[in-house]
Amino acid sequence: MKQLLAIIGLLAMLATAQAQHPLLNQEAPEAAVNARKAALENEAALSAQSLPPAPEIPPQPNLGAVVGGPAGEVLQFLTVGSNWIVAPYAIYDAGTKKTGGGVAGLYRVSDFVYTGLRLDYIGKELWMPSCQVQLQAPFRIMQKVEVIPFVTAGLATPLSGKGADNGSAVGIFGAGLAMKVSKNVGVFYEVEEWTGFKGNQHRGGVYFKMGF
């Protein structure tokens, strides 16, 4: 009987030791893991609070919205996502020895094809609008200077300055060379032949890229 009581007492002592000892307690590892997880989450929260706020990037100005109205829509079209080139230029008519000027608006179809409209003015009397297609083959010299040889073909009609030929069809054929001087600005020179006109027409000017 004394031996049975001793065995029962020994089992009771082992059970108590298992409950108190962290290595023998099955719940102790899980509690330690939970405590460690809570500590890591607390450290992450404190780190996030100590970081400075991200700087705000100011919105880019929208010129179209600033100007407003139809003029603003045109300005936004030309400066934000258009493929247009605007080119003012001077003209020398070798046939009549007269000078003049003009302006062209060309739309970029690809790097090799442009098309658009232009208006020529010569000798304070000739006004002639036209439409044209320009084919070009840009290349770089020493990987720095972009040079653009091009040819043009177009159809024009004089509104004044040609007497009885006002309103008639005039063919335009030319060849020239352009060179970029910055990302969106370049210079060009072209020699043209206009059907129904004597001599060649020489054009030279500056072009401005809009939005590309």
The tens digit of pLDDT for each residue in 158-172 reads 999 988 899 999 999
For the chain, the maximum distance between any two Cα atoms, rounded to a whole number of angstroms, is 144
Which residues are within 8 A (CB) of 133 and not within 5 positions of it... i.e. 6 or more apart? 113, 114, 115, 152, 153, 154
Residue type, 180: K
The tens digit of pLDDT for each residue in 113-164 reads 999 999 999 998 999 999 999 999 999 998 889 999 999 999 999 999 988 8
172-188 in b/e form (b: 16+ CB < 10 A) is: bebebebebeeeeebeb
The tens digit of pLDDT for each residue in 17-54 reads 555 554 444 455 666 667 777 777 777 666 656 656 66
The domain 83-210 is placed in CATH, from the list 2.40.160.20, 3.40.605.10, 2.40.50.140, 1.10.220.10, at 2.40.160.20
d(CA 151, CA 206): 17
d(CA 210, CA 80): 8
Percentage of the chain beyond pLDDT 70 is 65
A 10 A CB-CB count for 75 gives 19
Does the predicted TM-score (pTM) go above 0.85?
A: no
Cα angle vertex 166, ends 201, 117, to 5°? 55
Beta strands in the chain (DSSP E): 84-93, 98-108, 113-122, 126-136, 139-141, 145-156, 170-180, 185-194, 201-210
Domain ranges of the chain: 2-50, 83-210
